[in-house]
Amino acid sequence: MEEAVSMLLHLTVRNAINHARDYAAYVIACVAAIVVYFCFTSIQTAPIFRHLKMAGESLAFGRMIQVASLIILLFAAFFLAYANLFFIKRRRREIGVLSVIGVTKFQISLLFFFESLIIGVIALIIGLLFGILFSKLFAMLLLRMMGIAVAMPFLISWRAIEQTTFTFGGLFLLTGFLNSTMIYRYQLVTLLQPSAVSRKVRRPNWLTYLWGIIAPVLIISGYYLADQTLVLMPSLERRYGFGIDLVYLLTILLLEIFGTLAFFQAYTQIWLQLERHWKRLYYRGTHLLNVTNLSFRFKKNAKMLWMITILSAVTITAIGSAAMIYTHGQDTLRQNIPVDLVYTQSQKAAVDKILTQYHVQPVSQTMSSFKLVDARFKVNSPLNREGIKMDGAAVVMPLSQYNQVMAQQFKLPATKLKKNTVVTIINLPLTMLKMPRRAGAGLPPKRAGIPLQLKQSGLSDFRIVHIRKLFPNGSDVFFDGNLNVIVANDAEYQQVQATSVDQIYAVQLSAAQQKQKRLMRDLFRLSQKPKQWDYLMTHKKAGQTHYEIKTTDQRLEELSRYSVLLKKPNRDIANANFGFYMYVAIFIGLIFMLATGSIIMLKQLSEAQEEILQYKTLKKIGMSDGEIKRTIYFQILMLFLLPIILGSMHAFFAIRLLGLFLDNPGLQLAYIVCGLFIIIYFVFYLITANIYNRIVNAPLNSDVFY
């Protein structure tokens, strides 16, 4: 009994050593999953991050980390299961040989169980060591992306070690159990029989041609609907209501899903069939072999490639959207609070008291005056054929003050206005507006622009010649952009009568002043809990509507605003939130990219054993190693290239569709992040092609079974 156990252990260790080269890619992928999972768990249990979670509930820190860890765990389970199928397929004949020489099924079962367990333990130990080593780096990267300057100590989280060991240990035990039962699931004849696959591919029939022609029609139709969303969706809303929006977006999604499936099932077959009729190309070099093999591979792997394309599109869309939303958040913060400190007339005394207390001499300070009026105008929009009516409270400011403020806060050049023309600032995405018509090309100056009516007697008619989005001093002080801003020439501004005049102060602080913790703390407290609030009040007198801004220490139901705005605290909070979500999105996207790359890699490597006899025959009839290598690399490239190209196109239109609703923020960061993930995908291709070539080429140089 002891000799049998000793022999079994010796055979297990020797098997693990002999197959170390084959297990290398498997171990590396397992180690990567263990490292990422361990680092996320360490972040979740670290005291410094628990404090950050308690400080800001809106961050949902712990829950998001748990979701990310769960996704990583699901990926690891999926990868282990798929890799398990790969190794089983490659070693079926080895199991049959062991049975023939007298090794019992139970001994073979134990052999593969302990072999899987040894490999799992090795991967777990290496993963934990690298996880402990890189956990601080992961945490520092998260803090860096959140814009938090906190010293991160090197900590060994025993809870993270315990959780990672328990989780992945259970997965490896389950994998070992599945491997150990393989001998009971196959007959001996099946195990000894070489894999034989029929490579005969039928010529496309009329259904294949029909399905193949439909493929580009469906895909292009989805792209067209996504590109024309702001044109088509409003007309559908007017006819069927807002519930049609979900149907519209779902239609785009289904068009791309079924179009992609038809592309791989039928369009690729038609494309390769047409290449067979192109004799000059078909018989050039090894292209005949490439076309034949690709036709078989696309036919066999159509659903897998379809799934990879959809997963790649989802991954790139998620990462690109996260990057675009991050950029949009930064732009929004800059637009809402363009200077270090903004406050209203009602808080001037309180702010001046704090600035005097800390002996603050601002770098610059501006005061802007606004007259509150009742205005009416209508802007054209692709969303509404009848235009968007703006009827209600608005503020008027002089052009000289507007140019001064916009030059200081946004570095914009001065605006020039002709008589009776104005600039209007609206809190709507510019993608949802049509710009006013300009004079010229048959349009007289009197009809250029958009008519503006200020409900006062004695005023000339105004016309809006420019519509802009950037508010002077930010949109928050204008009741979150509910007050439209009208910029008029100084002389015309003096003619405007108003029942209420609003004054806004903007202060630029030095870097040293922003680092004074007590100063910023007192200003932040004032911004969060002022003693008085500003409300937009509406009164009707003699059939006319009048507006005023009322300051009171009572809480009213009317529209209110922040009367003190600080840029630095709001920027820090926004950076922390957006940085955290960007961090999680990148790593979840990385996991999805690893999953999609691993699916193709393991699928192709599991089929490599079936290709050995084919390439051995080609070698015997005179095909060189270099030609075989080029053939393999080209075929694997097609299997990797088409899903990533089609997935990237899907993602491009999806990101562009989202950008329409975010007023087209900068997409540079989104494209950079997506480009990095495509590079990772290309690395998967190189690794797969290299290993595939090594597998099918090895038996060509000898008669030994690989």
Cβ pair 632, 693 in contact under 8 A: yes
- Output the pLDDT for position 57: 43
Q: State whether residue 370 is helix, strand or coil.
A: strand
- Which strands sit side by side in the sheet containing 544-552, from one edge to the other? 544-552, 533-541, 559-561
Structure tokens at 645: 């190209």
Question: What are the backbone dihedrals phi and psi of residue 436, each rounded to the nearest 5 degrees, phi first?
Answer: -60, 150
- Output the pLDDT for position 705: 39
Taking Cα atoms as reference points, which of 36, 45, 35, 44 lies closest to residue 124? 35
CA 340 to chain centre: 31
- Output the pLDDT for position 90: 64
Between residues 61 and 265, the one the model is more confident about: 265
Taking Cα atoms as reference points, which of 545, 497, 536 lies closest to residue 376? 545
- pLDDT of 650-688, one tens digit each? 988 888 888 777 766 666 767 777 777 778 888 888 888
pLDDT above 90 covers what percent of the chain? Answer: 11
- Output the pLDDT for position 342: 92
Cβ pair 69, 165 in contact under 8 A: no
Angle, nearest 10°, between helix axes 302-336 and 668-697?
A: 160
Question: What are the backbone dihedrals phi and psi of residue 378, each rounded to the nearest 5 degrees, phi first?
Answer: -140, 130
- Output the pLDDT for position 203: 74
Enter the DSSP assignment of 431. Answer: G
Structure tokens at 494: 């003096």
Q: Write down the pTM of the prediction.
A: 0.76
- pLDDT of 146-196, one tens digit each? 777 777 777 778 888 999 999 888 888 888 787 777 666 666 555 555 555
Between residues 292 and 255, the one the model is more confident about: 255
Cβ pair 533, 551 in contact under 8 A: yes
- pLDDT of 598-637, one tens digit each? 777 777 777 776 777 777 777 777 777 788 888 888 888 8
Spell out the domain ranges in the chain.
1-193, 366-493
Residues 6+ apart with CB under 8 A from 628: 615, 618, 619, 693, 696, 697, 700
Q: State whether residue 24 is helix, strand or coil.
A: helix
- pLDDT of 486-520, one tens digit each? 999 999 998 888 878 889 999 999 988 888 888 88
Enter the DSSP assignment of 440. Answer: B
Cβ pair 189, 97 in contact under 8 A: no
Cβ pair 158, 166 in contact under 8 A: no
pLDDT at 18 over 70: no
CA distance linking residue 123 with residue 333, whole number of Å: 45
Q: Where are the alpha helices (DSSP H) in 337-380?
A: 348-357
- Output the pLDDT for position 274: 77
Q: Say which residue the tokens 């801003």 belong to.
A: 485
- Output the pLDDT for position 472: 92
CA distance linking residue 144 with residue 36, whole number of Å: 18
How many degrees, rounded to 5, is the angle at CA 101 between CA 100 and CA 107? 90
Dihedral sign for Cα atoms in the order 96, 98, 102, 105? negative
Average pLDDT of span 254-260: 93
pLDDT at 12 over 70: no
Cβ pair 618, 699 in contact under 8 A: no
CA distance linking residue 122 with residue 29, whole number of Å: 13
Structure tokens at 637: 């490239």
Beta bridge partners of 68: none
CA distance linking residue 272 with residue 275, whole number of Å: 5
Structure tokens at 77: 């389970």
Going by pLDDT thresholds of 50, 70 and 90, the confidence category of residue 212 is confident
Average pLDDT of span 584-593: 77
Cβ pair 201, 295 in contact under 8 A: yes
**Which of 36-45, 192-201, 219-228, 673-682 bottoms out in mean pLDDT, i.e. has the lowest?**
192-201
- pLDDT of 274-321, one tens digit each? 777 776 766 676 767 777 777 888 888 888 889 889 888 888 888 888
Question: What are the backbone dihedrals phi and psi of residue 656, each rounded to the nearest 5 degrees, phi first?
Answer: -65, -35
- pLDDT of 448-473, one tens digit each? 778 888 877 777 778 888 888 889 99
Task: Give kind and range of the element (H or E) at residue 177.
Answer: helix 158-180
Structure tokens at 178: 């599945």
Residue type at 647 in one-letter notation: G
Cβ pair 259, 222 in contact under 8 A: yes
Other Cβ atoms closer than 10 A to 673 = 20
pLDDT above 70 covers what percent of the chain? Answer: 82
Q: What average pLDDT does the structure give for the chain?
A: 79
Q: What is the Cα gyration radius of the chain? A: 34
Angle, nearest 10°, between helix axes 244-262 and 302-336?
A: 140
